[in-house]
Amino acid sequence: MKKANSSVNKISSLLVVLFILFVGSGVAQQWTETQKEIWGNVEKYWALDDSKNLDGFLNYFDDSYKGWSYDTEKPMNKTEVTKAIKEDYEKGKDNTFKSTLTPLEIWVKGDIAFVHYNFLRNITLKDGKTENKSGRWTDILMKKGDKWVLVGDHGGNIEKK
């Protein structure tokens, strides 16, 4: 009986490993060079935001930008979002940020791309305490020169229930 259980356990373990490999390969995405380039731009502007580099961050916003954060009543243009970002930087001037981004989908059609992703932002407060904020964004990007710039977005923090 012990030998039969051992064989069943080995077969079960093998099936679990095969299932994980099969499911993992089905979920994993292979990005094209263009998708990799786009994702690299998303990571760059998040890093600029984490370091509170306002000019660098805003350099990734096209003048035609219209975005809608979960925190606002209506979409905002580049002028309005610039003011809001400046206020956020001033409020959190003594805090440090480290963001982790997880891409979910990057759709590209010519010079336009939609990027869906989740984020986790670790915030270290002035007193040394930390807090985490997480959420999701959909960024709408347009190829302009040698980079992809934001023409719109939608998303933000999601409160844990």
Q: Per residue in 106-141, pLDDT tens? A: 999 999 999 999 999 999 999 999 999 999 999 999
Fold observed for domain 31-157: Nuclear Transport Factor 2; Chain: A, (3.10.450)
Cα dist from 71 to 45, 76, 141, 159, whole Å:
20, 11, 21, 11
Q: Which residues contact 133 (CB under 8 A, 6 or more apart)?
A: 120, 121, 123, 157
What is the arithmetic mean of pLDDT over 18-36? Answer: 65
Cβ burial of 138 (10 Å; 0-12, 13-18, 19+) is middle
| Residue 7 clears pLDDT 60, i.e. is over it | no
SS3 73: coil
| Residue 4 clears pLDDT 60, i.e. is over it | no
What letters, b where the CB count within 10 A reaches 16 and e where it falls short, cover 39-58? Answer: bebbebbbbbbbebeeeebb
**The predicted structure's pLDDT at residue 139:** 98
Q: State the alpha helices, DSSP H only, in 29-150.
A: 33-50, 54-58, 78-91
**The predicted structure's pLDDT at residue 29:** 72
Q: What are phi and psi of 57, to 5 degrees?
A: -65, -50
Query: pTM for this structure?
Result: 0.81
The enclosing H or E element of 103 equals strand 96-109
| Residue 73 clears pLDDT 50, i.e. is over it | yes
Please tell me which residue, 56 or 5, carries the higher pLDDT value: 56
User: Domain-by-domain residue ranges, the chain?
Assistant: 1-30, 31-157
